[in-house]
Every structure is written in C-alpha cells, then in structure tokens.
Amino acid sequence: MKRDRARYGVDGGYGGIAFFLLTGAGLLAGERWASRRDKRLAGSVAKMGIMAVLAVAAGYFYSTGPGKLSVWKGLLDDLDLRGDEDVLDIGCGRGAVLISAAHRLPRGRATGADIWRLRDQTGNSQAAAERNAMVEGVSERVELADADARDLPFPPGSFDVVLSNLTFSNHPRQRRTRQRAARGRQGPSPWRTDAGRR
C-alpha cells in the first residue's frame, strides 16, 4: 500500500505557474511561426527564450519545494532546540516549516498562524496544513490559528522561538509587523525569519 505524502504546494500561488505556462506557450508559438517562415534568427531567439524560461521555472519550483525544505532544515538544526519549546510559525501556509519544527519538539508545541490566501501558495488552506500535520505524524503537537501577522492573538512571551518564511515581505510596513510579532517571543532564543536572525 502506497504511503500518503504531505503536499506543501508552490509558493506564490497559481500566478507563477500561469506566468511560466503562458510565457513558454508564447515563445513556442513564436518559434513555430519563425520556423514556417524560415526566419532563422527569430527562431533561434525564441528557442533561447524557451530554454531560459525552462531554467528559471526549474529554479523556481526547486526553491519553493525541496530547496526551501533543505534551507529550513539547516536553520532549524542551528537553533539546537531542546525539544520542549513553544514555537510559533507566522504565515505557516500548508505547514512545511511548521511541521519541520514540530518534528524537533517531542515535548513541545508548534503553533502556526496564517490567513491562508491562495495568492500566497497553491492550495493554501488550514485544512491542507492539518492534513499534512496528520500525514507527518505530528498533529498532536501542532496547533493552527487563523490570524494576521499584523494582529496576532497571543500574549507577550507566549513562545520561545518565532519563525517565518517570506511572510513579512507581503506587508507594506515590514519593520512594524516584525516588531509586533517579536512581542510573542520570550527569552534569548533566536528568531528566524525571512529577514534573518534576531
């Protein structure tokens, strides 16, 4: 029997996928048009464009999937968690970073906060995050909250570590939003975000 897998979607929503498909289709149509009319230079340019789009798309899908997981594995390893911390992931989406943290918290708790917009990630929903936590076997130590990064419903000092992956870049007042989020952190534990280390 095939084991169910967690599915974390593609960052950037469906817009990125549509961009690559439409751009590639346009360049392919241009290359065929040039080939039928014996326009060799135009055909060569179109072929180079197709190759460039394929290369960029490959990098994009790698960075939003295996690449992101690999980077966060290293970041979480650097935190040297004891396993009993309370961790908050702001903008958790479908749970890739949240669940990676939860695996390191056998006696702790991982809380994910998000407003789950489809434009931020394909298939983005609280139900998808819950399903992934269940598939990964960490659902008993994962909690999810429908909450905006600008107005988190947690009292100061609720968490030992606060994580975020490219969430604050979605807000026009990034610095202010980060400062508000930092109020939820207690003690000297590092804070890893898309903005670096605190």
SS3 88: strand
What gap in Å lies between CA 54 and CA 119, rounded to an integer?
22
First-to-last C-alpha distance (Å) of the chain: 45
Q: What would the two tokens of residue 37 be?
A: 């009319």
Global pTM value: 0.75
pLDDT digits (tens, 9 = 90+) for 75-118: 999 999 999 999 999 999 999 999 999 999 999 999 999 999 98
pLDDT digits (tens, 9 = 90+) for 123-167: 999 999 999 999 999 999 999 999 988 888 998 888 999 998 877
Average pLDDT of every residue of the chain? 83
Bridge partner residues of 168 (DSSP)? none
Of 197, 192, 160, residue with least CA distance to 72: 192
